[in-house]
Structure 1
Amino acid sequence: MSTPQETHHSAPALDAVRARRSYSSVTESAPSREEIEGLLAAMSSVADHSALRPWRIIELRGDARKKLGKALAKGGGMSLEKGLSKAMRAPLVLAVVVSPRKSKKVPLWEQEAVASGVAHYLGLLLHEAGWGVIWRTGEAVRSQAARKTHELEKHEYLLGWLYVGGVEDRRRKHKPRKPLDVSRHLSAL
């Protein structure tokens, strides 16, 4: 009997996960709205108990990033200049919102895990499409200023922002990651 590794010579999902990197510095090019919509359509495959889809993404481009910068400054205890600088680091910022649904079967933590899965999948798919992505968080994520800026409903909250942009060719080459000591993360009962 063959193992899955022997049966499948190509493992594109595994290759994509292994290749994924965070890019703290990106160029001014960004995926189009249509490209983002296409990637979001794939989120129906995220593990989601009862298919609640307890998440949403808010797209920030152009001057909308300045509103984010003001919220980062106010909610993160920094100068306006620094907040604006942080918000303008990428031409596209995608706010990841947990939007819980009422459910007797699915607790809040599980719904948050679904939104986190969406953020990870989306970041992976953007990276695989050639875009530079980094998931940013910080003090301002749960601030009132961020809530107001993103026009969140009372039950919603932010998980963070995916900063997305182009990648310079010279930045595409990375030194290998430090190997994972699997024995520290995998056990058996």
Structure 2
Amino acid sequence: MKRVLGTILLPALAIGLSACGGDGGAPASAGHSGRSASAGAAHNAQDVMFAQMMIPHHRQAVEMAELAATRAGSPEVRELAVQIAKAQGPEIRTMTGWLESWGEPEAGHAGHGMDGMMSGEQMTELEGLSGAAFDRAFLEMMIEHHEGAVTMARDEQARGGFPDAKAMAGAIVRTQRAEIAKMRKLLEEM
């Protein structure tokens, strides 16, 4: 009887477990689609904290980037904002999928104590600007915002356990450091 149950339950369990994780576990290098190579890999508390903190952090960056569509004076700032939103939207979806597959709440840290997060007052100020004034404020705030994300990503690289989260953290460090350099150059040219 045990052997019969084992031959029925083990394959069913394997199929059920393989369905967990879905597309949300895709590595950053895979374009955020397809199955994860590490869907069954263990995660730790650092991985959970990374996703819980980076989701609201990225959401704020996307919100800032969306403001640039109608407020930026520089086409370079508008183009950079589009790149930021295009990169971070899929990462938000991927991290949300990880948290769901891990049975963890999304809003565990909700932006508290994160480096680079803009205050409500700063966001209101940014919303009220346009043209060159918006461009300067956007670039200065986004540099600070990206520096905070790089710090969080480096923490994940050092202490995380989930391979896909560590891979995404590496991609965040590379991408956002390059964007910081580009933003500093744009500020110098103003």
Q: Decide which structure has greater helix share.
A: 2
Richer in strand (by share): 1
Q: Under a length normalisation based on structure 2, what TM-score does the superposition of the two structures give? A: 0.22
Normalising by structure 1, what TM-score?
0.22
Which of the pair has more CA radius of gyration? 2
